[in-house]
Structure 1
Amino acid sequence: MNGPCMEVVTYRIANPETADVQRRAARDLAKGLPGFVGWVPLSGAQDRTERVDIVTWASLEDARNAAALVGGSPDFAGFRESISELVGMAHFSAETRPQVAMAAAEGMEIGRFHLKPGVSEDDMRKAHERMVAQHLSRLPGWRGQRLVRLQDGSFLDLAFADSQESAIRICDSWQGNPDCAAFLALIEPAGIEFGQVI
């Protein structure tokens, strides 16, 4: 399975208040794991002891590595103990690219560029996908990446992160990385800006 992986975990808990605290703590810890993209916590509309967590990872490998940590690390012991019954866990690939959910105080990098003469959009997109899959999506704080084609023929590379500081750090990581160099060899940068969701 290539590309983003959706991990769907269904379970029951005994004490909703305690489980809420432990789930928030587990989500905060998961944010620092390689390949973490997002975590949507769901509780039963009629029975709050029913839970579903939909966690998006950059790849199936990242999802499996994280599952091993959550299942055995002492850091996640409180979360594991709050679960009274694990109903099921499965991994899925999305037929469309998963949405990037952004919250206040999270960060963004906006890079504008043109294609170099003779470079096709298809070649640029393949290089961009490889750079994201092999490097950027594995960095702490990375939340997602999108390309935008503008009316004048230029492009935007939108990179989403858990903070503006992370967005800057991730951008700095391009230097010396071969996948980033391969992408940069196809484009003419026209500007870069960083921002924060408000």
Structure 2
Amino acid sequence: MTSDHILELAVCIVTDRPAATATRQRAMQAVSRYPGFVSWRAVDSCETSGMFADLVEWETLEAAQSAGERVRVDPEFAPYAATISAVMLVQHFSGGQRI
């Protein structure tokens, strides 16, 4: 990641983990075609069953915000969204240091 990219962290609770896992892949494929998309890392909580975290990298904050609006009406994202019972966090981050 370059320092000018944006990281979006989304943490949610899903109602049906197997269905969410299956539909998340389709959602990832859809979002990968959005303008400004760089990457998406999908992880599941080790401690909390049904808690998912998605770390999505965008070229710009504007691209991330636009994608946030687009997923609300994207029929390819809808099956994944339907498995989400609660959104715990959605935040955007910039900068960062690595060692």
Residues 153-182 of structure 1, C-alpha deviation per residue, up to 9 Å, x if partnerless?
Answer: xxxxxxxxxxxxxxxxxxxxxxxxxxxxxx
Match of 1:85 in 2: 86
Q: How far apart are the structure 1 equivalents of 2:95 and 2:73?
A: 28
Question: Given the alignment of the two structures, is residue 58 of structure 1 paired with residue 59 of structure 2, yes or no?
Answer: yes
What 5-or-longer segments of structure 1 have no aligned partner?
Answer: 98-198
Q: Which moved more, 1:72-81 or 1:54-63?
A: 72-81
Q: How far apart are the structure 1 equivalents of 2:28 and 2:95?
A: 21
Match of 1:37 in 2: 38
Match of 2:47 in 1: 46
Match of 2:15 in 1: 14
Q: How far apart are the structure 2 equivalents of 1:94 and 1:6?
A: 9
Question: Given the alignment of the two structures, is residue 94 of structure 1 paired with residue 95 of structure 2, yes or no?
Answer: yes
Residues 115-174 of structure 1, C-alpha deviation per residue, up to 9 Å, x if partnerless?
Answer: xxxxxxxxxxxxxxxxxxxxxxxxxxxxxxxxxxxxxxxxxxxxxxxxxxxxxxxxxxxx
After TM superposition, give the deviation of residue 48 of structure 1 in Å. 3.1
Please state whether the residue corresponding to 2:91 is helix, strand or coil: strand
Alpha carbons 2:26, 2:76 under 8 Å: kept: no
TM-score when normalising by structure 1? 0.46
In the comparison of the two structures, how many residue pairs are matched?
A: 96
What 5-or-longer segments of structure 2 have no aligned partner?
Answer: none
Amino acid at match of 1:31: S
Please state whether the residue corresponding to 1:45 is helix, strand or coil: coil
Alpha carbons 2:27, 2:77 under 8 Å: kept: yes
After TM superposition, give the deviation of residue 82 of structure 1 in Å. 1.0
- Residues 95-110 of structure 1: matches in 2 within 5 Å? 95-96=96-97
Please state whether the residue corresponding to 2:77 is helix, strand or coil: helix
Amino acid at match of 1:83: I
List 4+ stretches of structure 1 deviating above 3 A: none
- Residues 80-159 of structure 1: matches in 2 within 5 Å? 80-96=81-97
Greater CA radius of gyration, 1 or 2?
1
After TM superposition, give the deviation of residue 31 of structure 1 in Å. 1.0
Bigger share in helix: 1
Please state whether the residue corresponding to 1:71 is helix, strand or coil: coil
RMSD: 1.6
After TM superposition, give the deviation of residue 74 of structure 1 in Å. 2.3
